[in-house]
Structure formats: C-alpha cells, structure tokens
A and B are shown apart, each in its own frame.
Chain A
C-alpha cells in the first residue's frame, strides 16, 4: 500500500492537505496543538493546504488529506468528491467526519422546523436534512475517532502513512486503558453509566481517570462486523444502565445518542430505546 507516498517522500516531502466540512474546528486545533511535534511534522511533510493555519494554500493533488467535519449541505456533497479526487490517502479526523458528529442529532429531528425557529430568514439556509459521515460519500482510507482526536494517534497515522506502513489503531475497549493505568471503574464502583466497555480505546481513558463516565467520543469499539454476537455489545450495556443503574429509557437513549450517536451500533441502540420511551 501507499508505496507512492513513501517513495515520493524520499525525493520531495509528501504534500498534506487539511480540509474542513461541518465541524467545530477542534480537531484542526489538535493539529496546531501538537506544538514541538508540529515542527517535526512540518519537516516530514509539506503542509500544502491548511487554511486554519496558513493563508499560503497550494493546489492539489495531495499525498495525504485530513478531513474534518461532516456533510450537511448540498455543496459539501460535491466538494468532498473533489477533495477525494485530489487525495492519494484520505483520513477522516474526529467524530464529525467519521460518524456525522453531534450535528447528526438532526437526523432524528425536523430540520425545517429548526430553521423556522432559529433563523429570521430561514429561506437563506441551504442545509441538508441530515449530517452524514464522509464515508457515506467517498472512499475513506483511514478513520481517526475522537472528539477531539488524540494527538498521539494523529502523529502515528501520519508517520505510518508517510513511511508506507498500514496504520495500526486500537479497536479494543476503553476499559483496557483504564485498567492499564490503574483507574478505578466508575461503573462498578460509582454506578456511573460509563460507555467505556463499548467504546474504542485511543483517548487514554481521560474521562474515567478524572472520575467521569466515558461518553463514547471515540465511537463504538471494533465494529468491523457489527451485529448481534459481535462487539460492541451495546444491548447488554444498555440493559445494565436500565436495570442495574436505574436509568429510565430516555436516559439510556441519550447515553448512546451523543457525538457518535450516528455511528451504526450506537444509532441502533438508541433507536431500540426510543421504542421503549
């Protein structure tokens, strides 16, 4: 794979492009927050297109493209295709690009009604009725989960892609990170409705280590073969929230309908609890 990227890198630095769709810019900020590592990144890559960081915008094609944000407008559905055409390797960064983001809550609501309530002149708003992940529109090579993404994972994926190596990101549960760092389980010891058991590792289990329950910002664990019998077993955890932790159905629904609520296994789980509310 990606031999072109790696071999081209020896002659001239691989070109990096960073594109934004519907998002809060937090994941792009994670890149700027790399600090010293950003300088090293600048030495390994030609940061050719990154409007958030520099007004010097070079045209494509790009060896690696990072895409932040979800698709929420008709115009974006065209723009993402053109971005894909310019990208050798396309990596989505964050919950919005990878799963539709918090704005995907609109997928369960009436966007027209929102427009009428929020805007004085709703006719100027040209918005799709849904927020969808990039992978519903174009082929995505790799996905970085998180809200925001983890800096370490970003660096690993970039250095691996530049070197022509398949990136290796964890798919296991957040619980493994909690236990490795010696964090006491907030679900078992404090009855908090933690999503860690069904959420993908990668954040370093930040929330439980601060005494908070994981809200699933790294998306469902595994998920390559979602469905009954395969992890993540959201149904069993949801049942425990309800019968063990005494959450009422709408509270269970809300646990799963967060920033990654539109990721298939979380979506199906919240839909199942919608029927019980």
Chain B
C-alpha cells in the first residue's frame, strides 16, 4: 500500500530530508503564496506569516492538559513537534471580524456596497487532521447551505493546505474517537509526515500533486512509508481521552434535566473561550459601526458565542440567562443537535476547548457523566 493516508489523488509519496525543507518554501514563494505556519509567540504556537524553515517552532513541543498549555524546547531538530496552538484554521476563512458592507447616506436614503475581502493565495503549513475536519464542517455551513457566503468563499478559495500527520498525541486529544485523525484523510493539498530527519510528502489534490511534482522528490521507500504509517497509528492508540458518541444525539437530549449541568455550571465562567477556539463554532453577530458624522457606516460580522448574554435575547427577555442554560446549549448543540442539522458531530476531537478553558472543563468528562447515569443498560 503506497499511502500514509487515504489520498484523493493517487501519486507517489515523495521523501525529503529536513535540511531540504526550505525548497518547499521557495517553491511556494515562487508560486506567489503567502506562507503561514506555526511560530512561537507568547508561550504558544500561533499562526504567522513566515518565509523560512527556521521560523517554524523547531525543537519545541507543546504539553496540553485541562486549563494549561506549556511549550518546551527539547533541543531536537524536530520541525512539527508542536501539535497545535489555540487557533484552528477557522480564523483564515471565518475571520474574527469581517466587514460586510460599507453603507453611505445618499439622496435615495443610502447606498450599500459589499466589502469583499481581497483575494489572496495563502499556503498554511502545519494544519492537523482535526483542523481539516473542522474546516470541512465550516465549508458545509458557509458554502453548502441555501445561501453561500461569498466572504468565506473568497478566503477559502485562496487556501493551499499543507497538513501534517500527527505522530504524537496530546493529553487532550481525542480525534481517534471522533474519527477525524490523527491521519489527514482528505481536505488537504499536501500532507507531511515527519519521521526521524525525513519528511514524507503526499498529495491530496490536483494543486498539491502539481507542487509535489515540481519538487521532484525521490520516492519514499516501502520501509519509510510503513514506518510513517506505524507512527501515526501509534499516535492514535496513545490517545488517553475519548468521547463516546454511540448514543448521540438522543442521550444528550434525554439528559436535559440531568443534575450534572448544575455541577458544570458552578465551574463554567461563561467566558466563551471554548467557542472562540473551537474549529467549528460559527455563531456571529452583526455590528453596525457608524462614524461620528453618521454619514457612513460599516456593517460587519463579529465572532459571537452562545455563552454571551446577548445571544439568548428575544425582545426584552433572555431565554438563556444562566450559565447552566448556556453551557447546556453549547454542548447539546455541539454534540447532539449538530448531528441533526448537518449529519455530523460539531466536535472534531482537537481538545482545544479543554486546554483553553481557564478552569479546565473537559467536555469528554462532562459528556460521560451526563449520559452514563441516565442509562445503565450499556454494553
């Protein structure tokens, strides 16, 4: 079997030594891509525009646990030792703030002009399988419904995604149980697997295959491919967290009155961090920002969250005033009603909501408590 993942486009798997990785950057630059990759900033891996291999977090590893994120410099030459930071691929396509319209007063009342984002070719290096799964879900929401979102589409079209297969699982990872990783299965242009001081490169799209052939790499040996596959498999098996999806969505619908909601709401801050870092959360509000003269105004959308007070407002009352209401809304939507709405879970198992919760609430643990005692008849 000549593949590490299950690629859409059959092509040879190339191999490249770490020391040659800069060629990758040069080719992307020559094709006029802005390259974005993880960099170390303020104690975490953050997406930044980069030009050189040396901009990547070489030798760094991240350690994540509920409410805690730490980076460690191991001194190795490992390029992709950091699994992920707080950001998924979401900010590239569904941006935190997207101006929609510029509206000016006129004789006819007003004129509204769309403010589409600039088309830009962006190559993202270092997306993980969970990030790809998150992007696929966001594509479904913004591009495959009755109305297509042109702002999202413009940004999405410019993305060239270079995924990295995970060979190390974090304590907070549970992509195996969500069937979204750690192997990048689809939704990428190129996928890399770092094995020792070599990188295996496979294409997942026409554009990726084109770039792969431009790199003219030597083909990977069976042994190298088998080793890469074994490392990814080992990563899958090493995951300590799992999310039991077997009885969803109904089990969570049935747990609406479960006392565990009171328990978690005593801990939850309703700060919305979980929804902000979630690769799939798509709630947004529209803000109107007029200038001082009120002759011109910007109509923009802004990341919102079901944890805010405003989210539950209907004319003069609030349907979700308590933290309990809001946590229950978030989790029930993410893990249950999402299935009814989109035919897939809203969770991709990246574990970001666990790490970046300031008080370390773990949704896998909450779910287990919520659905276990509501039914004892489980195999």
Contact = CB atoms under 8 A, between A and B. Distances in A.
A and B held together in a complex:
yes
A40 B294 CA distance: 11
A155 B290 CA distance: 10
A1 B46 CA distance: 46
A112 to B, nearest CB: 39
A220 to B, nearest CB: 12
Interface of chain B: mostly helix, strand, loop or mixed: loop
Contacts of B42: 183-184, 186, 189-190, 211
A231 interface: yes
Contacts of A229: 265, 322-324
A138 interface: no
B70 interface: yes
Contacts of B46: 182, 184
Contact of A184 (B86, B322, B359): B86
A176 B43 contact: no
B43 to A, nearest CB: 4
Nearest to B262: A229
Interface string A176-199: 100111111111111100101110
Interface in A229-248: 229-233, 235-237, 239-240, 244
B305 A172 contact: yes
A255 to B, nearest CB: 13
Interface string A146-181: 000000000100010001000000011101100111
B154 interface: no
B86 A179 contact: yes
A41 interface: yes
B21 interface: no
Contact of A171 (B68, B85, B310, B358): B310
A233 B355 CA distance: 19
Contacts of B309: 171-172, 222, 224, 231
Contact of B272 (A175, A186, A190, A228): A175
A183 B87 CA distance: 10
A177 to B, nearest CB: 10
Contacts of A22: none
B360 A179 contact: no
Interface string B140-183: 00000000000000000000000000000000000000000000
A233 B269 contact: yes
Contacts of B69: 185, 188-189
Contacts of B85: 184
B87 A188 contact: no
Given A211-B42, A240-B358, A175 B308 contact: no
Contact of B276 (A44, A179, A237): A179
Nearest to A243: B359
B68 A179 contact: no
Interface residues of A, number: 46
Interface in B34-52: 41-44, 46-47
A172 B70 contact: no
A180 B303 contact: yes
B356 A230 contact: no
Contacts of A163: 294
B96 A181 contact: yes
B294 A159 contact: yes
A40 B290 CA distance: 13
A175 B292 contact: no
A236 B268 contact: yes
Most chain B CB atoms below 10 A, which of A185, A230, A237: A185
Contact of A188 (B68, B91, B321, B323): B68
A229 B268 CA distance: 10
Given A225-B321, A231-B309, A236-B268, A187 B358 contact: yes
Contacts of B321: 225, 230
Contacts of B272: 172-173, 175-176, 179
Given A231-B323, A236-B267, 6 more contacts: A171-B309, A221-B271, A230-B321, A232-B269, A232-B270, A240-B358
